[in-house]
Structure 1
Amino acid sequence: MTTLLPRASRALPSARRLQRLVLNGLTYPHGVDGYRDAYRPAASAGRIHATVEAIVPQTPRAHTLLLRPETPIAFAPGQHLLVTCQVDGARQTRCYSLCDTPRRDDGRLEITVAHIPDGLVSSHLAGGGRAGVRVGDAVGISAPQGSDFVLPLPRPERLLLIGGGSGITPLRSMWRTMRAEGLGDRVTVLYYARTTTDALFLDELTDLPDAHVVLTREDGQDTGADGAPTGRFDPAHLTAIGIDPTTTDAFACGPPGLVDAVRAAWADAPDRLRTESFAPPVAPVGDDMPEGMLTFARTGRSAHNDGATLLEQAEASGLTPESGCRMGICHSCTTTKHAGAVRDIRTGEIDEREGCEVQLCISLPVGNVSLDL
């Protein structure tokens, strides 16, 4: 069902955004970030400078980066960073979960990056090769972000962490924190990976007192001896490891199929479950042909609406708006919409307000739209 939001009067920009607009105007055509990049290209686009102090292989396609920020950073288990680096001369930003406890005493941060085929940033950070990141290189990082998918205080009496693939990374921060606080006996981990080769942190999981690794595509995998879970997530797996969803707090992170199945299992106690998915939302495909024009007011460019997201159409028009996760999590692509209507591809809601901020990566134009790009 489509929900229409009421029209509102043109909103005034925030003081911070107004300041940035003035600075960008004074430094046209490069903008503030352009001049900072020329001075400190590796990390100037991030709010905090961080040095790569170690690169630890986890699997053939995933590496953990140990980062030393220029100033100490406090974070909550489950939060993520925006990581900015220079790839082929252009600034790129992506979202990565912090995967170690904030209680470590050396001040370093850990992120684990899985190499995605044809992934521009993941290839740079985890793909290796002469053009990839090296020990001693600098990256830019944001302050830790996210408030919904974090380990709560006080700590749960019973906690289940359900991860799939690289979705295990924020959960690792949680179980390491619980163990550092002497609460490791409260934690159960249920992790789904395709094969042992794909499984992240396998040695560490093996050492946990109550962890269950389910290999969904391993030839000759365990067929269920001793009641061990096998195959893709199923509510029966919870019974097999002694979990009652109505009395257990849980976090789930991974592919949409896994997260949706876990939500269904917690249907009678949804307040006990927190979820996060690493897959970007998919724009709906309809019978109607896209209509209207996109106007990029600051650059004077325009383009016919082709039905893709605002971010994709801006990039196809030769613009390089700041972006990160490309799935509506990090908000780094937020831009002012001067006029027109956009549809949120996650919810279907249509926003017709003028002068409001929209996330380019999860917004589809509905007719004519003017953006501050």
Structure 2
Amino acid sequence: MTSTALRGRAWKLLEMVTTPLLPSDYLDLVSPLRAGADLRGRIEAVRPETADAATIVIRPGRGWRGHTAGQYVRIGVDVDGVRLWRAYSLTSPAKRQDGRITITVKAILDGKVSNHLVRRVRPGTLIQLDQATGDFVLPRVKPAKVLFLTAGSGITPVMGMLRNTGFDDVVMVHCAPRPQDVIFRDELHGLVADGKLRLTEVHTATDGVLDIARLDELVPDWAERETWACGPTGLLDAAEKHWAGNGVPERLHTERFRPTIVATGDGGEVTFSASGRTADADGATPLLDVGEEAGVIMPSGCRMGICFGCVTPLKAGAVRDLRTGEITEAEPGVLIQTCVSAAAGPCDIER
């Protein structure tokens, strides 16, 4: 008898002994990060960055396939007995020697997961992981001149890039309310001291919101630079208009928190079939917000600068894309982004 056949018989015997559970259920208790298990991670440290932000150090399971600087990861966290999924940018070097990964989380108002991670989670906690994804990344051929334009927690994917790549000529313009609100401030100023970065901080509590036209003063050669921008919608809208108006839109790469809303619709009753809940919705409110207001668990990454974390099947009815006004009607396999879709009449989404 071959070794494969022997292992198969042994496994069947184990299944008889452990029923109604599976042998893998017991293995999960002993070795949850083993190869072949559902992808998980163990939180090993929580390191404060500012008063409301922290870096979470995670040891991923053996199934982790690594990441590229600028990508994000979806994590599943149990909060008060409910598993919630959120997406966060990876801030660790892609080839960190100890194999750990890090995400840096900013606690947002009423954010269940972000506040839990920043203020309550403890080392040793197991979390679920998806593989890294996202296309807000650097090209294979490193640009000669780079500009990073960021605000708030929009700095997190860019910090992953800075930690992964040495640049010949890199400038950063970063916006935060006050100096003490700048995430990674000490590290950034260390790069400045070493001559590896030119940094301009815009403190919005005293300086006001950045006028994008100030780039002519702050970074005179901005139009010659390949630019990666991440932050709130207002900043990115202004940047896209500015780059397009100067004839260089192809040099701007953006990652959005929330998309621009340019259209409204009629609204209707929304059914969240998996949760058994319904809610009345107008034609201007994203279904993501409608669901959360109704107490439905709505996965998303929009508030962290990540797209496509909220994709959901549309089972019945129709929705309107708030960016374009386009109507999407339900049919088998149709998926919608709840953060940019509003009810266009009664509809049913699978949440």
TM over 0.5: yes
**What is the Cα deviation at residue 304 of structure 1?**
4.5
**What is the Cα deviation at residue 369 of structure 1?**
2.1
Map of 2:143 onto structure 1: 156
In 1: Cα distance, 2:319 partner to 2:165 partner: 42
In 1: Cα distance, 2:238 partner to 2:293 partner: 36
1:108-138 CA-to-partner distances (Å, cap 9, x unmatched) read: 1111111112211111011x2xxx1011111
In structure 1, which of residues 219, 223, 236 is the aligned counterpart of residue 214 of structure 2?
236
Give SS of 1:197's match: helix
**What is the Cα deviation at residue 255 of structure 1?**
1.5
**Does residue 198 of the first structure (1) align with residue 144 of the second (2)?**
no
2:314–2:349: 8 Å Cα contact kept in structure 1? yes
Listed as ranges, the matches of 1:108-127 within 5 Å are 108-126=100-118
Give SS of 1:259's match: helix
1:308-335 CA-to-partner distances (Å, cap 9, x unmatched) read: 4334444555654x51225694534433
Map of 2:41 onto structure 1: 50
In 2: Cα distance, 1:82 partner to 1:364 partner: 24
**What is the Cα deviation at residue 188 of structure 1?**
1.8
Alpha carbons of 1:158 and 1:47: their partners in 2 closer, same or farther (altered >3 Å)?
Answer: farther
**What is the Cα deviation at residue 61 of structure 1?**
1.0
Structure 2 gap segments, 5+ residues each: 1-24
1:82–1:330: 8 Å Cα contact kept in structure 2? no
**Does residue 362 of the first structure (1) align with residue 349 of the second (2)?**
no
In 2: Cα distance, 1:58 partner to 1:174 partner: 18
Alpha carbons of 1:237 and 1:333: their partners in 2 closer, same or farther (altered >3 Å)?
Answer: closer
Alpha carbons of 1:185 and 1:238: their partners in 2 closer, same or farther (altered >3 Å)?
Answer: farther
Give SS of 1:347's match: coil
In 2: Cα distance, 1:301 partner to 1:57 partner: 38
Letter in 1 for 2:242: A
In 1: Cα distance, 2:346 partner to 2:273 partner: 13
Letter in 1 for 2:231: G
Aligned-residue sequence identity (percent) comes to 35
Alpha carbons of 1:157 and 1:57: their partners in 2 closer, same or farther (altered >3 Å)?
Answer: same
Structure scoring higher RCO (CA < 8 A, sep ≥ 6) equals: 1
1:326–1:362: 8 Å Cα contact kept in structure 2? no
Alpha carbons of 1:109 and 1:242: their partners in 2 closer, same or farther (altered >3 Å)?
Answer: same
Alpha carbons of 1:47 and 1:349: their partners in 2 closer, same or farther (altered >3 Å)?
Answer: farther
Higher helix share: 2
TM-score, normalised to structure 2's length?
0.77
Give SS of 1:96's match: strand
Alpha carbons of 1:302 and 1:117: their partners in 2 closer, same or farther (altered >3 Å)?
Answer: closer
Structure 1 gap segments, 5+ residues each: 1-35, 222-229
Letter in 1 for 2:154: G
1:175–1:187: 8 Å Cα contact kept in structure 2? no
Letter in 2 for 1:270: P
In 1: Cα distance, 2:317 partner to 2:209 partner: 47
